[in-house]
Amino acid sequence: MMLSAHHKLQLYGALLLLPAALLLTTFAYIPTVTTLISSLFLPGFRGAPAEFVGLENYQVLFIDPTFWKVARNNLLYALGTIPTSIALALGMALFVNARLPGRGLVRMAYFTPTILPMIAAANIWMFFYAPQIGLFNKLLGALGFSGVNWLGDPAVALGSVMAMSVWKEAGFFMIFYLAALQGMPPELKEASDLEGTSRWSFFWRVTFPLLMPTTLFVLINALINAVRVVDHLFILTKGGPNNATNLLLYYVYENSFAFFDRTTAATITVVILLTLAIIATLKFTLLDRRTHYQ
């Protein structure tokens, strides 16, 4: 049998793709499909076959107040951390893009939290938040205030977790803004200086609109991270007190590996997958192929 040159190339290409295809199928596609399937079944008792229950697992999940609490936490977490990180990142980028004494050091200080593991960052912040010996309460005590239970008070705990996330993330987003700022044609600034435009209106009318693609890019990444990164909860709060800081992926972990309820875990995973699908759609419609990918 003789293969035409074109078919030979096709075969060769397919072979090159094979390892990646096998791995992606094993660890991405099959698990996605089996997650969907297990969310539609109830496991049988004592080796009985699993029973198809349609959307019943979702009905059960949607009347579970804890699920709604966790979903609400995750939404608050996103709303609380993302705009703050983005604003800070932009501010940092503007700072280190200007003439500034010790610019290198300042940039390093902003960026360093980015390369720490979330676990290490949480450990460090634990020293601040701990009720008796923590630095924050010691400082408050020294000033004559009574201490705050930063991680133990349900009203404060999520805020404390968010503060740490912002600290960890802002410097990462800064570098994208910084690159965008450095890519801006200097003529824009020169022209506006000649016309006597104030720096404030130059920022809002020129810089900020030109940074829009970067802002969208950063926003998409921040959204993904808000769903995906829960490592710090293992150290700071374990989702407590009374689920006040629990986030969706951590709740999946709890259901699966602490309560051994794989069905509920799969059902919540589907909710997470849907959220990620929305973010992906946002990315491909808003961002297109414009920024950072050249």
Partner 1 sequence: MSSLTAFSPSTARRVHAWRSLETIAAWLLALIWIFPLLYAFWAAFHPSEYMVRFDLLAPLTLDNFANAWAQAPFARYYFNTFALVTGVVVGQFVVCTLAAFAFARFPLPGKNVLFMLVLIQLFIFPEVLIVENYRMVSELGLINTLTGVGLPYVASAFGIFLLRQTFKTIPQELEDAARIEGCSWLAILWKVYVPLAKPTYLAYGLVSISHHWNNFLWPLVVTNSVESRPLTVGLGIFSAPETGVNWATISAATLLSIAPLLVAFLLFQRQFVQSFLRAGIR
Q: Using CB under 8 A, which residues numbered 99 to 128 contact partner 1?
A: 99-102, 105-106, 108-121, 123-128
- Shortest Å distance, C-beta 119 to partner 1: 5
Per the document, the length of the chain is: 294
282 binds partner 1 (CB under 8 A): no
Nearest to 283 by CA among 225, 230, 223, 229: 223
The binding track of 132-151 with respect to partner 1, each residue x by CB under 8 A or -, is -x-x--x-------------
155 binds partner 1 (CB under 8 A): no
CA 68 to chain centre: 19
CA 26 to chain centre: 25
41 binds partner 1 (CB under 8 A): no
14 binds partner 1 (CB under 8 A): yes
DSSP-derived secondary structure for 172-228: HHHHHHHHHHHTS-HHHHHHHHHHT--HHHHIIIIIHHHTHHHHHHHHHHHHHHHHH
- Shortest Å distance, C-beta 204 to partner 1: 17
Number of residues in contact with partner 1 under rule CB under 8 A: 94
The binding track of 186-225 with respect to partner 1, each residue x by CB under 8 A or -, is -------x-----------------------x---x--x-
42 binds partner 1 (CB under 8 A): no
Asked if residue 230 lies in contact with residue 250, where contact means CB atoms within 8 angstroms, the answer is: yes
Asked if residue 196 lies in contact with residue 190, where contact means CB atoms within 8 angstroms, the answer is: no
Q: Which of residues 48-87 bind partner 1 (CB under 8 A)?
A: none
